[in-house]
Amino acid sequence: MLLYRDCDQASLHTLLAALGLQVVHVDAAAAIPGSFWGDEEAGLIGATLYLRDDTPVHSVLHESCHFACMDESRRAELHTNAGGDSAEENAVCYLQILLSDVLPDMGRARMFNDMDTWGYSFRLGSSRRWFEEDADDAKSWLAHKQLLAMADQLTHTNR
């Protein structure tokens, strides 16, 4: 599992800034503010993403993609629970896979592995199979919100 401490942090911070997020690094012994899952998982409060050295990059991207999928009124109220429905959750997962290509030490293959290791569940049994064979609803959701175009721009301009 790729952790924040082991990733290309400059590339990750560039991506998160492009999404409109400020990053706050939390000390190793401290709880992560705004973390829905607790432990080492990333946290969101407003436009601030909280993480520690042991935070998995897939968690950073997942929470960041929740932020990207929200409108301004939801962002203003955001504290810990990103909310949204299952269609949005699928879109978030799809977007985090797309954006993993921006990070030189992540990419889709590692993202698929890390998502499966963490325990994301998909109808087809793996994140890769879902992404490649069963994610039309997620793509449609993102296209409707004009986030596929944003993802394409980010993946091409941040490399």
Q: Note the pLDDT tens digit of each residue in 103-149.
A: 999 999 999 999 999 988 777 889 999 999 999 999 999 999 989 88
Task: Give the single-character DSSP code of 56.
Answer: B
Choose among 55, 19, 21: nearest CA to 35.
55
My answer on whether 55 and 91 are in the same domain is no
In this structure, the strands spanning 48-51 and 43-45 are: antiparallel
My answer on whether 61 and 116 are in the same domain is no
Question: Which pTM value belongs to this model?
Answer: 0.93
Into how many domains does the chain fold? Answer: 2
Domain that holds residue 151: 86-157
Residue 106, Ramachandran bin (φ over 0: left; ψ between -120 and 50: alpha; else beta)? alpha
Confidence at 155, pLDDT banded by 50, 70, 90? low
My answer on whether 152 and 94 are in the same domain is yes
Q: Using an 8 Å Cβ cutoff, are 105 and 2 in contact?
A: yes
Q: Using an 8 Å Cβ cutoff, are 65 and 99 in contact?
A: yes
